[in-house]
């Protein structure tokens, strides 16, 4: 979670990406938007541009999977780090398309980090 005035400096975000990539570049980094709620209301919501500006350093540090979270319509899909094709398409928390087959890209065969349940095995949320 990126909180304005707490951990939103570009150097901090780059450092976080560097640490995660140093552990394993397959670890997804969810750069999540802060919303002032409950007991922490002293800060404004994180500007979307702050989150977007952290995306590039995350990729530059070698992370394969960087996502902007808590912002509707922002980078929720999984793309293959090798061929760039969309593998998983999400709408909110719903997976609408899953092209990961046996933990590999359906198109080029690249190994994809993560655990994937085939769409036909997923329970439908209503």
Q: Nearest 5°: phi and psi at 41?
A: -120, 10
End-to-end Cα separation, the chain, in angstroms: 28
Residue-wise pLDDT tens digits, 23-66: 999 999 999 999 998 888 888 999 999 999 999 999 999 999 99
Banded pLDDT at 121 (limits 50, 70, 90): low
CB atoms within 10 A of CB 112: 24
Nearest CA to 76 out of 97, 102, 59, 50 is that of 97
Cα 12 from Cα 107, distance rounded (Å)? 36
Q: What is the pLDDT of residue 8?
A: 93
Say what the pTM is: 0.81
Q: What is the pLDDT of residues 77-91, one digit of tens each?
A: 899 999 999 999 888
Beta bridge partners of 89: 97
């Amino acid at each position: 979670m990126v909180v304005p005035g707490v951990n939103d400096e570009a150097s901090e975000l780059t450092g976080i990406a560097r640490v995660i990539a140093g552990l394993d570049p397959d670890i997804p980094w969810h750069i999540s938007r802060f919303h002032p709620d409950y007991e922490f209301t002293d800060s404004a919501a994180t500007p979307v541009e702050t989150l977007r500006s952290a995306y590039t350093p995350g990729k530059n540090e070698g992370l394969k999977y960087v996502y902007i979270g808590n912002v509707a319509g922002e980078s929720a899909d999984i793309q293959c780090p090798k061929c760039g094709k969309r593998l998983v398409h999400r709408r909110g928390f719903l997976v609408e398309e899953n092209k990961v087959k046996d933990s590999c890209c359906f198109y080029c065969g690249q190994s994809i980090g993560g655990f994937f349940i085939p769409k036909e095995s997923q329970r439908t949320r209503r």
